[in-house]
Structure 1
Amino acid sequence: MNRIIWMGIGVAIGVIAFRKISTAQSALGPEGLNRAVGRLADGLFDFADAVREGMGEREAELRSALGIDTAIGGGVDAALVSGIAGRRDAVRR
């Protein structure tokens, strides 16, 4: 009975080690590096989009609080936002 338990523990450790080594090998190659850089770039683009959106919302709040004509400024221009999104998609490809 003792041998079966130790054999099960050994098999479990072997499976865990094999999975960790396989993951590390795939992360070390050029494809793994490419994936890591892609994830980093996506994260930066998402962060920049969130900052731009927050800036537009805050600008709209300030304009309404100060009584500035919002028809002229109106926060972030839709053409500017769509242009930024288009560049973002082009960079990802």
Structure 2
Amino acid sequence: MIKRLFWLAAGAAIGVVAIRKVAAMKSAVGPEGLNRAVGRLTDTVADFADAMREGMHERENDLRAALGIDSEPRS
């Protein structure tokens, strides 16, 4: 009987802690919600990848010009 009461209390305490953590996370994300925050993060990563690709392309063109290679690489 005491074991069951202990596990019931432990389960309730874990539930309360989990609900508080979720509520804290929701308030930290702000009113826009989790989906928008993840969307912004994804957009930021995509923008960074685009900037990296552009920089690599420019560097490749610089190297081709320095080496005197006129043709574009084949894809």
Give the TM-score of the pair, scaled to structure 1.
0.45
Give the count of matched residue pairs.
65
For each residue in 1:19-64, what CA deviation from the matched residue of structure 2 results, as whole angstroms up to 9, or x when unmatched? 112222343426x68x937645543442232112221233245443
CA distance in 2, matches of 1:58, 1:3: 69
CA distance in 2, matches of 1:41, 1:60: 29
Give unmatched runs, 5+ long, in structure 1. 69-93
2:50 is aligned to 48
Give unmatched runs, 5+ long, in structure 2. 71-75
CA distance in 2, matches of 1:28, 1:12: 25
1:15 corresponds to which letter in structure 2?
V
Q: CA deviation at 1:4?
A: 1.0
CA distance in 1, matches of 2:59, 2:8: 61
Higher RCO (CA < 8 A, seq sep 6+): 1
2:17 corresponds to which letter in structure 1?
V
RMSD (CA atoms): 3.2
Residues 58 and 7 of structure 1, relative CA distance in 2, 3 Å threshold: same
Instruction: Give 1 or 2 for the bigger CA radius of gyration.
Output: 2
Q: CA deviation at 1:11?
A: 0.7
2:9 is aligned to 7
Give the TM-score of the pair, scaled to structure 2.
0.53
